Amino acid sequence: MAAREEGNDYQRLTKKDCSTLCSHVVSHRRLEAMDDNIQSVHIISDTLKRKILEREKQTDMNTGISDKGSNMGFTAAVENSDEETVEIDTPLSRDQTKETGSKIIEVETENDKDLRNYDEACDRVKDFYREQHEKQTVAYNLMARVTFKTKVRARLTIWDALIKLNELIDESDPDTEMSQIDHSLQTAEAIRRNGKPRWMQLTGLIHDLGKLLYFFDAQGQWDVVGDTFPVGCRFDHRIIYPNTFEANPDSDHPVYSTEFGIYSKGCGLDNVMLSWGHDEYMYHIAKRQSKLPLEALAMIRYHSFYPWHKEGAYYDLMNENDKKMLKAVQEFNPYDLYSKMDELCDVEKLAPYYKELIDEYFPSKVIDF
Ligand SMILES: [Fe+2]
Ligand SMILES: [Fe+2]
């Protein structure tokens, strides 16, 4: 690992490093599978919530109550075996979708296919969160930040970093259907198709690039992927599997276990320490080395902060600026969650466009990771 400690990139890795990386590659496949499982939980959860809402709307209509909900947003058609359709509102309007030629994203649950996947994923996801919720402590998070700030792990362009991450995954399984660059480009392309600004397209491209962390300082999957949450104050019951925090030593801490803990009401999320992972890691890299706007940085930093942007937890910690950021993160989320169902992108064809976009916002070109 000496090469990495000296801040060199993969090209200078020794044979020993390469063999270590090979084992990391296999583990990384598991990491990606885990991340997919976690995302599928959110998709299923979304789907079920929308179904319940739709049923309530239908009941209201049947009983003569006007439908106040209205189709304000972009619609994802969700069909079940009874051919019911449930609309998923996203920040995009239906008209906008037509204008930009974007397709409607479909989440199909016929034959309960996705529900079966959810069942299969459930134990793995539960085990993952049991470990994550036990180990994401204030002490660990302070250490992770000190480690992050005191060394450079690699120096790469953003594009090369995406390719490297992609190559490593491909080596482990040439038949893999979805690699990191596929998801990155699909997210970026979905944003672009809907006529969103260039900075947001780039945000889609790099939002998961922090998974490079797995090859550097990570102790497992639990400090790279998964939903994030604040440490240093009481763990909210709206975090997934809240009971698993019982094993976290901070749960009994006299300060960390209180409502605001080491923070104060309205202190602003900038002052809150979120559990360490790919979101937080990439946020710090982008904040230091890019010209991306605050909304982009928030999308990167909070895209896995589901207890906040999806469940409405921790609002008391927000300041006025965070309210704007919340809207931005909520606008970004559907692109991250649902673009995986899009067709795969042609990497070679898209490379010139995205390389130019990267250079626009990362002027130093070679980035310290
Ligand atoms: Fe992510
Ligand atoms: Fe993602």
Sign of CA dihedral 213, 143, 235, 233: negative
CA of residue 56 to ligand 1 center, whole Å = 32
Range of the domain at 315: 2-70+123-368
182-205 tens-digit pLDDT:
999 999 999 999 999 999 999 999
133 annotated ligand-binding residue: no
103 annotated ligand-binding residue: no
pLDDT of 219 reads 93
* pLDDT surpasses 80 at 155: yes
94-108 tens-digit pLDDT:
233 333 333 333 434
Q: What is the mean pLDDT of residues 29-39?
A: 80
pLDDT of 1 reads 39
DSSP helix/strand/coil, 355: helix
Q: What is the mean pLDDT of residues 263-277?
A: 98
Residue 99 lies in a domain: no
CA of residue 117 to ligand 2 center, whole Å = 19
CA of residue 261 to ligand 2 center, whole Å = 30
CA of residue 83 to ligand 1 center, whole Å = 32
- Position with higher pLDDT, 341 vs 109: 341
CA of residue 36 to ligand 2 center, whole Å = 9
DSSP helix/strand/coil, 89: strand
* pLDDT surpasses 60 at 362: yes
211 annotated ligand-binding residue: yes
Longest Cα–Cα distance in the chain: 72
Sign of CA dihedral 127, 130, 135, 136: positive
Residue 238 lies in a domain: yes
pLDDT of 15 reads 61
CA of residue 268 to ligand 2 center, whole Å = 25
Residue 30 lies in a domain: yes
Domain count, the chain: 1
pLDDT band, very low/low/confident/very high, at 36 (cuts 50, 70, 90): confident
Q: How far apart are CA 164 and CA 159, in angstroms?
A: 9
Residue with tokens 């038949």: 175
56-84 tens-digit pLDDT:
888 888 776 544 433 333 333 333 333 33
Residue 277 lies in a domain: yes
Residue 280 lies in a domain: yes
Residue 110 lies in a domain: no
Q: How many CB atoms lie within 10 A of CB 366?
A: 12
Predicted model pTM: 0.78
